[in-house]
Structure 1
Amino acid sequence: MSPADDEPTGIHCRLDELLAERNMTLAALSDAVGVSVVNLSVLKNDRARAIRYSTLSAICRALDCEVGDLLVTADA
């Protein structure tokens, strides 16, 4: 792991907020999109370094949201 890998990305994942608004658990989202709870937790806690477009699309479909609702710049 290089030092650059430890630097903040400036991207915040709003997964917690979106799940709360929809009264949905991380486990239910995991079942809906076919991604492990552990991987969703990494995303939710802003520790993800990458996400596949197919995963991003599946999450947005399950949460009925747009990518911009899920991922925002940390300054926003």
Structure 2
Amino acid sequence: MARDIIVTLDVMLARRKMKAKELAAAIGITEANLSLLKSGKVKGVRFETLAKLCEALDCKPGDLLDFGETVAPRAPAHPLEPDGLA
């Protein structure tokens, strides 16, 4: 399995009982960009943005990012084979 950077922003938002919309407004980015960041669909994040996230959420970068194994998506089962078993 591949090891990747895992974004745990959604966990911190839940801990702080803050909505993504509030956070986006607080740090000056669009909700769409925050959503992409939360889902890990970005290739990078500026240190300035990371600093604003940490300030708004009262946390450290390590609270928002992790490094570990990601689960590879499972191939869909063939429609004629139950649970993909041959």
Residue 10, structure 1, aligned to residue 9, structure 2 = no
How far the C-alpha of 1:38 sits from its partner, in A, is 0.6
Task: Flag as ranges the 4+ runs of structure 1 deviating above 6 A.
Answer: none
State TM-score, norm by structure 2.
Answer: 0.74
Aligned partners of 2:55 and 2:3: how far apart in 1? 24
Give unpaired runs (5+ residues) of structure 2: 70-86
How far the C-alpha of 1:74 sits from its partner, in A, is 2.5
Identity %: 40
For residues 61-72 of structure 1, what are the structure 2 equivalents within 5 Å? 61-72=55-66
Counting helix residues as a fraction of each chain, which structure ranks higher?
Answer: 1
The count of aligned residue pairs is 68
How far the C-alpha of 1:50 sits from its partner, in A, is 1.0
Q: Quick one: which of 14, 18, 27 aligns to 2:21?
A: 27
Q: Quick one: which of 37, 45, 70 aligns to 2:39?
A: 45
- Which residue of 1 is the match for residue 80 of structure 2? none
Aligned partners of 2:26 and 2:11: how far apart in 1? 18
